[in-house]
Amino acid sequence: MNKDCENWLLTPAAMGRVDDAAARSGMNSYGLMEKAGQAVSAAALRLFPGARRFVVLSGPGNNGGDGYVTARALSEAGAAVSIFRLGDPSRLKGDAATAFAHCLLDGDDLDAYQPWAGDVVVDAIFGAGLDRPVPDTVRHVIERVNVASIPVIAVDLPSGLDGRTGRVLGAAFTAVHTVTFMTRKPAHVLLPGRRLCGSVEVYDIGVPMRIVAGEAGCVRVNSPSEWQYEFPSEGLESHKFSRGHLTVFSGPAAATGAARLSAAAGLRIGAGLVTLASPTAALETNAAQLTAVMLKAIDNPSDLAVYLDDPRHNAFVIGPGFGIGERTRAFALALKDRLVVLDADAITSFRDEPNALFNAFSGGDFRLVLTPHEGEFARLFPDLATDERQSKIERALAAAVRAHAVIVYKGADTVIAAPDGRVLVNDNAPAWLATAGSGDVLAGMIGGLLAQGMPAFEAAAAGVFLHGKAGTAAGRGLTSEHLITSIER
């Protein structure tokens, strides 16, 4: 993968414009297809040196063109190759027609393909150009290949996958390996697409970087290079007060654990001081289980107003275990001038009046981070959640603009979006991170980074990435307590 663009995500439409611009610049566009097909052939031979037969399934567009180049290259390397085609190859156009003309192997209709043991399928039916559910012929082949457990190498995208959204249009192959070109596309990282791609190889077919950069936009894969420059450093001159003061609100006596997890995570990620703001009735319960985290009784909005008189109380987490309702709304709105992570119950509390929240935090730098999972997202943004046309990236971005907040739209493919258009898709979370209390830990980590002065978008992205990394380090069967001790800055 080219280092310059390893985190970029281009939609199929943007990649189409890259292709056009490359052709206009005088590049030989057939040369790009030739390199694409050669890369797929090399991957197939590398991954399956013992294949009895490579079966190339070629479609009606340029993805099919890549397939004809692959078939020719595999055959020239001495492998056994069969081709099955969707559509009349005499109707292929442009580079795909050229690739077909150069490939002297016979082929048959896609319908005729019956899997044999020892086959390896090269799926070149549809790539970036899929724009509607796959036809029945393709659906039936996908089913036959699945039933026979034939390994599939996908060209650009597993056919049936919508490159922009990562959703399945009708049916899709499940690939063991996908070779894509220049940059990854949203479907390689958004679910369910990511699971259908297998390992993803990004091959540089030689489109000049300035042309790709022209279409790259601000949507990327989350990685330290996206936020490291803002990560708080522990210089010799730093002391606990210069590393900020995070306050986490505890729920009532019967629901204090979630907030303690957030507070402990905030401390672990480096906040200088962490206070648990607790109802008087829960002080004893909390006191029995805290050491480094401080405790303060705050029962009502007037207690909170006094606490907010001290400007050193700069960052807050509200929501985990806090309870749903009017008191929660009053507390959250009182924090409107501070850095705030609003999670769980505090999100749900605004389901009937989300604009009250959004308006309170509008104006000035964005300082509110919302961390909804799927259900909470639907409560605050019901219209976006049900809009089937939009990808998770597009939904998160629209929500961020509306809320004037950084949105951490959680899931195994968490999307972090800022109102200014920046979006990061996270892909390092292990499956076992979805455990009780995991979200509370994440909220505390983001709060702890906000307290240390990291801007909201970078704090959210770093929190999500380091949370995934801690989950991987903790390993299967982790508990949230273990997750916290596995956090490394």
Ligand X SMILES: NC(=O)C1=CN([C@@H]2O[C@H](COP(=O)(O)OP(=O)(O)OC[C@H]3O[C@@H](n4cnc5c(N)ncnc54)[C@H](O)[C@@H]3O)[C@@H](O)[C@H]2O)[C@H](O)CC1
- Is 275 one of the binding residues for K ion (CB under 5 A)? no
Tell me how far apart the alpha carbons of residues 292 and 280 are, in angstroms, rounded to a whole number. 19
Q: Is 467 annotated as a binding residue?
A: no
**To which residue do tokens 């280092």 refer?**
3
Residues 6+ apart with CB under 8 A from 239: 272
Our CB check for ligand X shows the closer of 63 and 278 to be: 63
61 lies in the binding site for ligand X (CB under 6 A): yes
Cα separation of 89 and 455, whole Å?
Answer: 54
Answer for which of 9, 130, 150, 155 binds K ion (CB under 5 A) is 155
Q: Scanning residues 193 to 252, which ones bind ligand X (CB under 6 A)?
A: 207
Does 480 belong to an annotated binding site?
Answer: no
The alpha carbon dihedral of 310, 313, 316, 321 has a sign of: negative
Would you count residue 444 as binding ligand X (CB under 6 A)? no
Q: How many chain residues touch ligand X (CB under 6 A)?
A: 29
Residues 301, 325 contacting (CB under 8 angstroms): no
CA dist., res. 79 & res. 55, Å (int): 11
Tell me: does residue 70 bind ligand X (CB under 6 A): no
Q: Which range in 54-62, 246-254, 305-313, 439-447 contacts ligand X by CB under 6 A?
A: 54-62
Judged by CB under 6 A, the residue of 5, 9, 36, 393 near ligand X is 36
Is there a contact between 80 and 53 (Cβ–Cβ < 8 Å)? yes
Per-residue mark of binding to ligand X, 136-175 (x: CB under 6 A):
-------------------xx-------------------
Q: Does 66 bind ligand X (CB under 6 A)?
A: yes
Q: Check binding of 32 to ligand X (CB under 6 A).
A: yes
The answer to whether 61 is annotated as binding is no
Using CB under 5 A, pick the residue from 62, 98, 159, 278 that binds K ion: 159
Give the number of other CB atoms < 10 A from CB of residue 22. 21
Q: Which of 81, 120, 134, 400 binds ligand X (CB under 6 A)?
A: 134
| Ramachandran category for residue 216: left, alpha or beta (phi over 0 → left; psi -120 to 50 → alpha) | alpha
- Least spacing, CB of residue 218 vs ligand X, in Å: 20
The one-letter amino acid code at 460 reads: A
Q: In what order do the strands lie in the sheet with 107-109?
A: 107-109, 81-85, 53-58, 119-124, 152-155, 177-181, 199-203
Q: Residue 201: enclosing H or E segment and its boundaries?
A: strand 199-203
From the CB of 7, what's the least distance to ligand X, in Å?
17
In the range 109-138, which residues lie near K ion by CB under 5 A?
Answer: 123, 127
Could you list the residues that contact ligand X (CB under 6 A)? 15, 18-19, 32-33, 36, 59-66, 126-135, 155-156, 181-182, 207
> Annotated binding residues for AMP, as ranges?
410-414, 439
